[in-house]
Chain A
Amino acid sequence: MYKAFLIKYAEIAIKGKNRYIFEDALVDQIKYQLRNVEGSFKIVKEMGRIFIYAQSEFDYEETVEALKRVFGIYGICPAIVLEDEGFEALSKEVAEYVKKVYGDRNLTFKVNTRRNKKSYPMQSMEVSSALGGVILDACPNMKVDVHHPDVFINVEIRNKIYLYSENIPGPGGMPLGTNGSAMLLLSGGIDSPVAGYMIAKRGVKIDAVYFHAPPYTSERAKQKVVDLAKLVARYSGPIRLHVVNFTDIQLYIYDKCPHEELTIIMRRYMMKIAEQFARADGCMALVTGESIGQVASQTIHSLAATNEVCTMPVFRPVIGFDKQEIVDVATKINTYETSILPYEDCCTIFVAKHPVTKPNIEIIKRSEEKLQDKIDEMVKEAVETAETIICE
């Protein structure tokens, strides 16, 4: 039935002179997401909106699913495209369309007409009221409400006539690539993929670092992180995942530093290493899945201690989320089931029974002095030997 989609976008509309940058990025992202969808499409910017025209037979469900992954899209309106064959023909099509979409449901509606083709013999208001009558006749359960209708029946008269009513919510946010890039610290857990998704949603390109600790963490744990990166990449586009072998550094800290400080010191080095990759990849910020108070290393004291080594801004988009709220997003973006596969990650293998929850930065720094001999070299080696995997 549908041959086209009208794409609604929200925040881009207020971007003033830079608006074209955002619109072009949105068109690019739509093209990217539709690349593997069955069918061929033409994407057109016109009159402050984006239209997607199907140029062939296409898979409707697949197309909508793909568009739901394009950040910056606020609403997806599947549209019917009609030739102008007079008002009577239009009335018939409108009646049939409304019947098909809403059937005999009790709904209130309003017809909105836009007449871009000024040569059309009727004015917008006339078209709307005449079509309102047609719909009332066709669907006896529907009523008109021009102030707060349940549904809008939109009619746009151009060279062809476009008819749309349904509005499928898009993910919102901003088109990818319009806000620079950031380096995500990706573990195998539930939170970090969600954090990556949320930052990508603001138009930020994402790359990622994973800390691998063989033989304490398995090949499967690494594969799980690759799989998670691929799931996030469905939204964010290809992710460069840097896999860092962290075992030696971890064991060195274990040897030299008080056991209850292990996790904090470890995380400080993870941040430092992540920054090195961020700089190399041209990222301007780090992203983590931390949430206040979730575990010992995420108390406000611990976060401050971890943050102290960072010179870049650290974005923590789920910082104020409860676990369930994070799980809800993870379920929505389809990472949850992979995240809960039971492979150990490097943060838990040597975790102390009673880690510090209120680390004192000065004490932590003093403990780190015991690492002086070898740590810089070890960090250097970890960065140099990292494996980079493109996840898409």
Chain B
Amino acid sequence: MEAYLDNSATTRCYEEVRDIVVKTMMEDYGNPSAMHLKGVEAEKYVKDAAKKIAATLKVQEKEIYFTSGGTEGDNWALMGTALAKQRQGKHIITTVFEHAAVSAPMAWLEEQGFEITRIPVDEEGNLSLETLKEALREDTILVSAMFVNNEVGAVLPVEEIGKIIKEKNPGTLYHVDAIQAYGKYRIYPKRMGIDLLSVSGHKIHGPKGTGFLYISDKAKIRPLILGGRQQNGMRSGTDNVPGIAGLGTAAEKIYKNLDSNTEHMKTLKLYFAEELGKIENVKINGPKPENGAPHILNVSFLGVRSEVLLHALEDMGIYVSAGSACSSHKRSGSPSLTALGLSVERKESAVRFSFSEFTVREELDYTLEALKKVLPMLRRYARK
């Protein structure tokens, strides 16, 4: 049996996605910028995808810009805003437990002379809204916060954050990294005060190398990729038609059955968390299972290094991800888990299970059996 429990890393494509990708590669393979019929046909797929995505967010089609994925969207949102607004101020606010696609460009901006304030979180991943309020200043040009933390599934109060920002300083742009949230939550940027929203395709059963950045028509940011002026000059490069078509199809499908799918994942997650609780020395990291995102559960199996457990499970066809890859030489641990203030022992034994609508209870039962089998052996041979 195989149990794929690493859906926050990537997901299997929908069959409909595969079909449209193949079709746009083999039949309607024109360049959408071309003037002839073949180009016009291809362009339809791009427009159609924008329309489907815009509908899920209740925004305008022209506010959707296709990217190569979540990392590009995050980089573009941060750097594009910094470049466009540096005359108004050089202060940016973010959180301590962002994905590297946000934290790395933030560090780069810091080197370029921007001032970055990182708002702390508590052990369950709750952001201190008071600290955020105090940190906001007149020269704050951007606030960037993730919707769902990719490692522990903590959910930030995105709407409240939006309100706080816009009350204090309406000119401050608000970026939300929704890579783990899109397709799990209904996200309405206009209502939530979100100006920029980045999404990745392969986390929602779409193709890898695809994604989009929503840019509110009121927000002005600079393009980073210059060239043939595709996408209104905001993101040059020939449109990745198969990828875009696949992304649009995935977005439409995942929102069609959103409620039943998230309910399914949440039920599985709560069941899994409860069963894990019966095994000794197991700690759930981050938010309480009922509070976190429906598809992510981060667990420490004390006394077993996560990497070793990962390989032991892999041997039985169970795929999970380790909270941190650490070797005997470099014991660093993941920045997210460090931000939650977890002990070294907990960080080193943290494993992330992540689910999708395709996950079934049998996979979880199989995994629970496997854990009960390997844990005693692995705990016995711990490093002394």
User: B308–A216 contact, CB under 8 A?
Assistant: yes
Which one, A34-42, A64-72, A126-134, A345-353, is touching chain B? A345-353
Closest to B315 in A: A215
Report chain B residues within 8 Å CB of A215.
308-312, 314-315, 378
Closest to A353 in B: B384
Contact with A along B365-383 (1 / 0, CB 8 A): 0000000000000100101
Instruction: Kindly state whether residue B329 has any CB partner on chain A within 8 Å.
Output: yes
User: A218–B381 contact, CB under 8 A?
Assistant: no
Residues B306-354 near A (CB distance < 8 A): 307-312, 314-315, 325, 327-330
Report chain B residues within 8 Å CB of A216.
308, 311
Q: When chains A and B are docked, how far (Å) is the Cα of A351 from the Cα of B328?
A: 9
User: A343–B327 contact, CB under 8 A?
Assistant: yes
User: A350–B383 contact, CB under 8 A?
Assistant: yes
Q: When chains A and B are docked, how far (Å) is the Cα of A81 from the Cα of B327?
A: 57
User: B311–A344 contact, CB under 8 A?
Assistant: no
Contact with B along A242-271 (1 / 0, CB 8 A): 000000000100100001000000000000
Q: When chains A and B are docked, how far (Å) is the Cα of A217 from the Cα of B314?
A: 12
Instruction: Kindly state whether residue A320 has any CB partner on chain B within 8 Å.
Output: no
Number of A-B residue pairs, CB cutoff 8 Å, is 42
Closest to B383 in A: A350
User: B311–A214 contact, CB under 8 A?
Assistant: yes
The main secondary structure of chain A at its interface with chain B is loop
Contact status of A218 and B307, CB under 8 A, knowing A259-B384, A350-B383, A352-B384: yes
Report chain B residues within 8 Å CB of A219.
311, 314
User: A254–B314 contact, CB under 8 A?
Assistant: no
Q: Contact size class for A? A: 10 to 19
Instruction: Kindly state whether residue A140 has any CB partner on chain B within 8 Å.
Output: no
Report chain B residues within 8 Å CB of A352.
384
Report chain A residues within 8 Å CB of B315.
214-215
User: A254–B381 contact, CB under 8 A?
Assistant: yes
User: B307–A344 contact, CB under 8 A?
Assistant: yes
A36 to chain B, nearest CB (A): 32
B351 to chain A, nearest CB (A): 13
User: A349–B311 contact, CB under 8 A?
Assistant: no
Instruction: Kindly state whether residue A169 has any CB partner on chain B within 8 Å.
Output: no
Report chain B residues within 8 Å CB of A48.
none
Instruction: Kindly state whether residue A282 has any CB partner on chain B within 8 Å.
Output: no
Report chain B residues within 8 Å CB of A343.
327
A345 to chain B, nearest CB (A): 9
Report chain A residues within 8 Å CB of B325.
342
Contact with B along A174-218 (1 / 0, CB 8 A): 000000000000000000000000000000000000000011111
Q: When chains A and B are docked, how far (Å) is the Cα of A216 from the Cα of B384?
A: 15
Q: When chains A and B are docked, how far (Å) is the Cα of A349 from the Cα of B325?
A: 14
A217 to chain B, nearest CB (A): 8
Report chain B residues within 8 Å CB of A217.
311
Report chain B residues within 8 Å CB of A344.
307, 327-328
A114 to chain B, nearest CB (A): 57
Contact with B along A138-181 (1 / 0, CB 8 A): 00000000000000000000000000000000000000000000
Contact status of A349 and B328, CB under 8 A, knowing A216-B308, A218-B307: yes
Report chain B residues within 8 Å CB of A214.
311, 315
Closest to B377 in A: A251
Report chain B residues within 8 Å CB of A348.
327-329
Q: When chains A and B are docked, how far (Å) is the Cα of A6 from the Cα of B329?
A: 48
Q: When chains A and B are docked, how far (Å) is the Cα of A254 from the Cα of B311?
A: 20
A251 to chain B, nearest CB (A): 6
Please pick, from A218, A259, A342, A351, the residue contacting B311 in the complex, using a CB distance under 8 A. A218
Q: When chains A and B are docked, how far (Å) is the Cα of A20 from the Cα of B378?
A: 58
User: B314–A342 contact, CB under 8 A?
Assistant: no
Residues B283-323 near A (CB distance < 8 A): 307-312, 314-315
User: A349–B383 contact, CB under 8 A?
Assistant: yes
Please pick, from B329, B381, B384, the residue contacting A342 in the complex, using a CB distance under 8 A. B329
Q: When chains A and B are docked, how far (Å) is the Cα of A350 from the Cα of B383?
A: 5
Report chain B residues within 8 Å CB of A342.
325, 327, 329-330
B279 to chain A, nearest CB (A): 18
Contact with B along A341-371 (1 / 0, CB 8 A): 0111000111111000000000000000000
Greatest chain B CB density within 10 A among A217, A254, A349, A351 is at A349
Greatest chain A CB density within 10 A among B310, B315, B327, B330 is at B327
B337 to chain A, nearest CB (A): 18
User: B308–A251 contact, CB under 8 A?
Assistant: no
Q: When chains A and B are docked, how far (Å) is the Cα of A64 from the Cα of B29?
A: 44
A94 to chain B, nearest CB (A): 51
B333 to chain A, nearest CB (A): 13
Q: When chains A and B are docked, how far (Å) is the Cα of A9 from the Cα of B384?
A: 54
Q: When chains A and B are docked, how far (Å) is the Cα of A343 from the Cα of B325?
A: 9
B205 to chain A, nearest CB (A): 26
Closest to A343 in B: B327
Closest to B313 in A: A215
Closest to A254 in B: B381
Closest to B384 in A: A259
Report chain A residues within 8 Å CB of B312.
215
Q: When chains A and B are docked, how far (Å) is the Cα of A219 from the Cα of B315?
A: 10
Q: Write 11 A-B pairs (CB below 8 A) sorted by A numbering.
A: A215-B315, A217-B311, A218-B307, A218-B310, A218-B311, A219-B314, A251-B381, A342-B327, A348-B327, A349-B383, A351-B328
> What are the 3 closest A-B residue pairs judged by CB atoms, nearest first?
A215-B311, A215-B312, A348-B328
18 extra interface residue pairs, beta carbon distance < 8 Å, beyond A349-B308, A351-B328: A214-B315, A215-B308, A215-B310, A216-B308, A218-B310, A218-B311, A251-B381, A259-B384, A342-B327, A342-B330, A344-B307, A344-B328, A348-B329, A349-B383, A350-B381, A350-B384, A351-B383, A352-B384
Identify the B interface with A (CB < 8 A). 307-312, 314-315, 325, 327-330, 378, 381, 383-384
